[in-house]
Amino acid sequence: MKRLKRAMAIGMLGSLIVLGLAGHASASRKTVPQQLQSMQADARQQKATNDLKASASKIVDLLAKGKFAEVTKKFDSRMKQGLSTEKLKQTWQAVVAEVGPYKRQVSSRIEKVQQYDVVSVTCEFAKAKLDIQVTFDRSQKIAGLHLIPPNQSMKDTYQPPAYVKRDSFEEQAVTIGSGSAAVSGVLTLPRGEGPFPAVVLVQGSGPHDRDETIGPNKPFRDLAWGLSSQGIAVLRYDKRTLIHPEQFNGNFTVKEEVTDDAIAAIALLRQTKSIRPDQIFLLGHSLGGMLAPRIAQQDSALAGLIILAGNTRPFEDLFVAQSIYLASLREKMTSREKQAISTFKQQAERIKSRGLAKAPPTEILLGAPPSYWLDLRTYNQREVAKNLKQPMLILQGERDYQVTLEDFRGWQKSLADHKNATLKTYPTLNHLFMPGTGKSNPTEYQTPNHIDEAVVNDIASWVKQREGSQEPGARSQEEKGDGVKR
């Protein structure tokens, strides 16, 4: 029996096998009564389907309105034991903090899974679309509730960009960590004689897969395949919040969410014969970029850091700024958007308050417990980066509305006297380092695209210039005149 894995899980269905139901048409001709009976059966089935879809739609409405107690009343006995009203509320708030305020239902579909009816309601949030899957048992009690990106159940339609040379590398499955915290990953290795320099990829916030998939786009696969096409090995892996969401129900910090697995991935590469142990680099995107200096602080043997859209402003301030930006894309701000902005501001103020240290561990602020925010208070990425000896490459898309040029200027100011920091911006690129025009918005992420070739080339060139360096931070004369913005 296969367990159904979900990006964001609220409750579990248990061990199920999804059954493909293949219908067939009868070869015999039906009599009029038989035709009538068939039509009546079809009508009953259609009514049952419509009723289930309507019930699922109502559940979504209740979630959106914050009426969580009314939702849990409809749970079966096992769901009631595993998911309290308060836990459901916290989970919903975490989802909204990640993908923005709920906006509307787009469509719904139904499928049969053993004795269960699973209704998937595709919903639009401010930053992305999610499928809210409501699973009903035979008595129409809720036996499961899940939130997943709608593309996760779809066939992988990824087409590599032109700069990828698919026959120039191979991929090997790996495991990062051990025991109950282990996650799966893949090492992309160039063909030919090694050992090779290598890059570990660290995702942004949220339960990302190894490709950092968003909509049809896979920016980390673009990076891995693009860099390996130029002779650089790349290790990427599924994020622990995706594979083990049940481990993040209580107190946790970025240590459990990000840094532990990054350190384990680096250690794994050092034990890999085809990798140069002195030429292992860390590439962090968004939250991963913000935490890159902390990871380097823990592992001084890293050959260098590559920070893509890493924020220098406090994390909680980004939530507020993003919500205001998204609301500004409309001619008139809706009351729901005003309320969402007000909520984000209140929670950001709570995170900054002295009273947070005495907050109960069950309190959820912007999708995380107090322990998460208290830990980040002790970390100043700009100050840590300033004191690192490793070379750094900091890249920023100028159309990025999630991490902006204001954050990039923070890096510029802090690293102005750092001899081994290279900073560069790209006028047409968004948060995913994919090209576009005009103001960036979340719908952009749903259009198939790829990381710009210039970004891949710049990273590959920067890594290769360090292959001959004996000390972390040695900078080639050639790089000094590369015209990057500092």
User: Could you write out the three-class secondary structure of the chain?
Assistant: CCECCCCEEECCCCECCCCCCCCCCCCCCCCHHHHHHHHHHHHHHHHHHHHHHHHHHHHHHHHHCCCHHHHHCCECHHHHHHCCHHHHHHHHHHHHHHHCCEEEEEEEEEEEECCEEEEEEEEEECCCEEEEEEEECCCCCEEEEEEECHHHHCCCCCCCCCCCCHHHEEEEEEEECCHHHCEEEEEEEECCCCCEEEEEEECCCCCCCCCCCECCECHHHHHHHHHHCCCCEEEEECCHHHHCHHHHCCCCCHHHHHHHHHHHHHHHHHCCCCEEEEEEEEEEECHHHHHHHHHHHHCCCCCEEEEECCCCCCHHHHHHHHHHHHHHCCCCCCHHHHHHHHHHHHHHHHHHCHHHHHCCCCCCECCECHHHHHHHHCCCHHHHHHCCCCCEEEEEECCCCCCCHHHHHHHHHHCCCCCCEEEEEECCECCCCCECCCCCCHHHHHCCCCCCHHHHHHHHHHHHCCCCCCCCCCCCHHHHHCCCCC
Q: How many residues does the chain have?
A: 486
Indicate yes or no: pTM above 0.85. no
Beta bridge partners of residue 186, listed in sequence order: 173, 236
Cis? peptide before 195, omega within 30° of 0 = yes
Kindly give, in sequence order, each residue whose CB lies less than 8 Å from that of residue 358, ignoring residues fewer than 6 positions away.
none
Report which of 464, 453, 190, 195 is spatially closest to residue 306, judged by C-alpha positions: 464
Topology annotation, domain 166-481: Rossmann fold (3.40.50)
Q: Which amino acid is at 408?
A: F
Which amino acid is present at 347? Q
Say what the pLDDT of residue 468 is: 62
Other CB atoms within 10 A of residue 439 CB: 12
User: 157 is written with which tokens?
Assistant: 């339609």
Q: Which residue has the tokens 């100043």?
A: 380
In this prediction, residue 398 carries a pLDDT of: 98
Tokens linked to 292: 């890159």
Q: Do the domains 166-481 and 8-15+33-153 match in fold?
A: no
Per-residue pLDDT of the chain (486 residues; tens, 9 = 90+): 333 333 333 332 222 212 222 233 333 344 444 444 555 555 566 677 778 888 999 999 999 999 999 999 999 887 887 788 888 888 888 788 778 889 888 888 888 777 788 888 888 888 788 889 899 988 889 988 888 766 554 456 789 999 999 999 999 999 999 888 899 999 999 999 889 999 999 999 888 889 998 888 999 999 999 999 999 999 999 999 888 877 887 889 999 999 999 999 999 999 999 999 999 999 999 999 999 999 999 999 999 999 999 999 999 999 899 989 988 888 888 888 888 889 889 999 999 999 999 999 888 888 889 999 999 999 999 999 999 999 999 999 999 999 999 999 999 999 999 989 999 999 999 999 999 999 998 889 889 999 999 999 999 999 999 876 544 333 332 333 333 443
Q: What pLDDT sits at residue 268?
A: 97
pLDDT of residue 275: 97
**Can you tell me which residue has the tokens 């469509």?**
107
**Nearest-angstrom CA–CA distance, 226 and 170:** 12
Which residue type occupies 173? A
Cβ(486)–Cβ(424) below 8 Å: no
Catalytic residues: 286, 400, 431
Give the residue extent of every domain in the chain. 8-15+33-153, 166-481
Unique residue bearing structure tokens 């239902």: 105
The count of C-alpha atoms lying within 13 angstroms of the C-alpha of 101, restricted to the half-sphere facing its C-beta, is 20
CB atoms closer than 10 angstroms to residue 122: 15
116-125, long-range: CB < 8 A, 24+ apart: 116/13, 116/16, 116/143, 116/144, 117/52, 118/144, 119/52, 119/53, 119/55, 119/56, 120/150, 120/153, 121/53, 121/56, 121/57, 121/60, 122/150, 123/60, 125/95, 125/96, 125/99, 125/100, 125/101
Nearest Cα residue to 59 out of 151, 146, 189: 146
Task: Report pLDDT for 130.
Answer: 86
The second-level CATH assignment, the architecture, of 8-15+33-153 is Roll (3.10)
pLDDT in the model for residue 479: 35
d(CA 285, CA 204): 5
